[in-house]
Amino acid sequence: MDRIEELMRAADPAREVPGPRPFRVAEITSPATRPARRRSREHLAVWGGAVGVAAALAGGLVIANQWQTTPDAPAQPAEPDGSAPVVTDPPSTPSPSGDAARLPNGLVPAHDDVYLEDSAACDALDVTQVRTSGPDGEPLATEPWEYPVVGCVDGVAALQMSDRWFYESGVDDIAMGIVLARWADGTWTMEGAHETPDGELDLRVYSSWPTLIGYELPGDPPAAERMAEQYAEIGVDAVTGERLLGPETVVWTVDTPAESWTPGGADRPAGSQVAFLWRSDAVWHGAGSASTVLHDGSSSDAVKDAGDRGQEVFTYFDPRGKNVAQLLVSTHPQGSGGCALPNSTYVIEGRAATALESPEGRLDVALVTWSDGVGVEVSTAMLVPGSAPDTGARCDLPAEHTVGDRVVRFDGGRYQFRNDDERAAYLDSQEFADVVRLGTSITMD
């Protein structure tokens, strides 16, 4: 078992590291055709991938996804003054970001620098037409957002499984990562896929740069070495490999501001105390123990008796289907109450005041960086007391906060930045601006 696999298994044994493993044919279907599946809190914590050792040690609810490049465009202001944004009627389907509009066949880009070769094969790439096995095989997807395109060159296309697809499909026991399709005889077919006698589909899954960088422990082979091994397995050089599997950056984000934001309060479950704003070109989900509510700009089904259920979890996806934040509201604490990181210190950056008040005073949303139990420095957006100093002992910084008669926890993506410049770039990113604006918009009755 390699080190990435150890990290991912530590977070969720049901989901293993990307690699050769079964991919069930029955699970490669449209989320709309599958019944909603109840998920445990542990699985709610890892819709975006596998949580790292820091979260596993701390019992945390940290979203572990570093999928999608650090933007060059200026970020949209988070409007910390509380002024209301312009809200328009959302379209029936979220509009694609500006970088998505340039791709053919409705393809959704996995990052801002998708390389799509000028060829008949890449021009014909349509994830809803990619076959799982042979010309008569099942289609890979029914909607482009299920598998954003990472790159297409020399008759090979790299497609990533989106976090939103994982969530809506209700699957949690298959590898997550990049899959390859090859062009032959006028058809795109998944590479190396073959059905086993028990109805499963064996498929090779590859890791992105953000995954390799984000799950690297001290003493591990460098991410570049791991990526070179993948290039060799695919049979491409470094230049072609980067075009196919994406750029060497720690995080892939959407760099385009939303044209408008829409309130989530109108669709909240009966009995819910939570209201918020989210991008009109993206989606959010609310889940409880009874059923699921979906908001995609077109419809929603209310979760019944949310106030009696004891727990609500809201999960937010960007326009590319990446899980960028999660809000947990409960009637009781979710953590163990202990501290697994007695020697760790934290740094708080990018603070913005929220409307939430705890017994200790106002809460802020900010990017918090600390070293976990194995010496890996991780960063995530979270709620922190407004009175907390910018640096201090990690054990003094609570992950959950009492607001009224509820316990609240808010987490952004978990990232492993390699230097201060990468962290500063994320603080200037559109994703962080969106997460801050979301966090500052949350209210509770």
pLDDT per position as a tens digit, 335-368: 656 787 888 899 999 999 999 999 989 999 999 9
Strands 283-287 and 292-295 turn out to be antiparallel
Q: What is the pLDDT of residue 227?
A: 96
pLDDT at 7 over 90: no
Which residue blocks in 47-132 are alpha helix, DSSP H?
53-58, 120-123
Q: What is the pLDDT of residue 86?
A: 32
Q: What is the pLDDT of residue 28?
A: 37
Of 182, 177, 196, 193, whose CA–CA distance to 246 is shortest?
Answer: 177
For range 174-185, the mean pLDDT: 88
DSSP, res 273: -
DSSP, res 339: -
Sheet strand arrangement including 21-24? 21-24, 200-203, 194-195
For range 200-224, the mean pLDDT: 85
Amino acid at site 315? T
pLDDT at 180 over 70: yes
Q: Which residue has the higher pLDDT, 196 or 33?
A: 196
Residue 25: φ, ψ to 5°: -55, -40
Q: What is the pLDDT of residue 241?
A: 96
Amino acid at site 35? P
265 band by pLDDT with thresholds 50, 70 and 90: low
Chain Cα centroid distance, residue 331: 26
* Residue 435 backbone class (left: φ over 0; alpha: ψ -120 to 50; beta: rest): alpha
Amino acid at site 138? E
Q: Provide the percentage of residues in the chain whose pLDDT is more than 70.
A: 66
Residue boundaries of the structural domains of the chain: 115-245, 274-283+308-444
Residue 55: φ, ψ to 5°: -70, -35
Mean pLDDT of the chain: 74
User: Is 148 within 8 Å of 206 (Cβ atoms)?
Assistant: no
Residue 156, H or E segment: strand 156-160
Distance in angstroms (rounded) separating the CA atoms of residues 254 and 174: 26
pLDDT at 73 over 90: no
Q: Which residue has the higher pLDDT, 3 or 135?
A: 135
270 band by pLDDT with thresholds 50, 70 and 90: low
Relative orientation angle of helices 430-441 and 420-427, to the nearest 10 degrees: 50
> Which range has the top average pLDDT, 39-43, 135-139, 175-179?
175-179
End-to-end, the C-alpha distance of the chain in Å comes to 48
Distance in angstroms (rounded) separating the CA atoms of residues 427 and 236: 34
Partners of 85 in the β-ladder: none
Q: What is the pLDDT of residue 178?
A: 95
Residue 324, H or E segment: strand 323-330
Of 385, 371, 368, whose CA–CA distance to 426 is shortest?
Answer: 368
Which residue blocks in 107-197 are alpha helix, DSSP H?
120-123, 163-169
